[in-house]
Amino acid sequence: MNVDNLKENIEIVLRKIENAALRSGRKFQEIKLIAVSKNVEPERINLAYELGLRDFGENRVQELLKKYDAVRREINFHMIGHLQTNKVKYLVDKIRSIHSVDSIKLAREIDKRFGEKNKTIDALIEVHTAKEESKFGLKPDNLEQFLSEAQNLKNIKFIGLMTIGTLTDDEKEIRRCFSTLRKLRDDYSHFKSENIDLRELSMGMTSDFEIAIEEGSTIVRIGTAIFGERKN
């Protein structure tokens, strides 16, 4: 893919974000784009940076570490994929947020490791809303318990919720996932403490980000529409 392709892809994505926002009476500025750069080489990440993108999402610690020194230092990385507790320590100093906190054990480890370096990290709680069976994401019914156990962690700040919608062509089903997350956020917005203030909704990928924005998404995570199909 050459520069022009990337530039055009980014422009198309931004225009779609703006149109989806306008359609639902929202502002373009309310929605943050995270360009998902998994399987994308550092050179192209830097190119995307030069074309104006600042926030990039990675889903594997190993890959992030491998690319880290080869990309522009100004880039903000976000961990969006499932995170094992034994990998948390490698992320301190390297990322701006974690979107995939799905257990109190992981939350405690993040709190501990960032605390050791006197850092605080923004985090989103991953909630399972999709139809498919998945190992990842809290069940909506377990969110309250999670929050009450997480409210005394000092070095992890919970700013919102994240979900991955059902992979389907059925728009109604996709919408159901995203509106479930929005309702959960609204239901728990009163649950405020020193380190909990749920505002953000990280939802929407290449195939469903416009629906997600219509349902209230504040952060979209888009890979394929920007960088093209991934070769795995």
| Nearest distance from C-beta of residue 123 to ligand PLP, angstroms | 14
Asked whether position 78 contacts ligand PLP by CB under 6 A, the answer is no
Residue of the chain from 62, 76, 145, 224 that contacts ligand PLP (CB under 6 A) = 224
Q: Crossing angle of helices 171-188/143-150, nearest 10°?
A: 40
Asked whether position 80 contacts ligand PLP by CB under 6 A, the answer is yes
Here's the x/- map for ligand PLP, 147-166, by CB under 6 A: it reads as -----------------x--
Give every CB contact of residue 81 below 8 A, 6+ residues apart in sequence: 38, 58, 59, 60, 100
Tokens for 7? 């530039």
Cα–Cα distance measured from residue 158 to residue 200, given in angstroms and rounded to the nearest whole number: 9
Q: Are residues 219 and 202 in contact, defined by beta-carbon separation less than 8 angstroms? A: yes
| Nearest distance from C-beta of residue 36 to ligand PLP, angstroms | 4
Asked whether position 222 contacts ligand PLP by CB under 6 A, the answer is yes
Q: Are residues 91 and 58 in contact, defined by beta-carbon separation less than 8 angstroms? A: no
The helix (H) or strand (E) run that includes residue 99 is strand 97-101
Residue of the chain from 9, 37, 59, 180 that contacts ligand PLP (CB under 6 A) = 59
Cα–Cα distance measured from residue 34 to residue 118, given in angstroms and rounded to the nearest whole number: 26
Asked whether position 81 contacts ligand PLP by CB under 6 A, the answer is yes
Segment contacting ligand PLP (CB under 6 A): 90-98, 104-112, 190-198, 200-208?
Answer: 200-208
Residue nearer to ligand PLP on the CB measure, 148 or 224: 224
User: Which spans of this chain sit near ligand PLP (rule: CB under 6 A)?
Assistant: 36, 38, 59, 80-81, 164, 205-207, 221-224
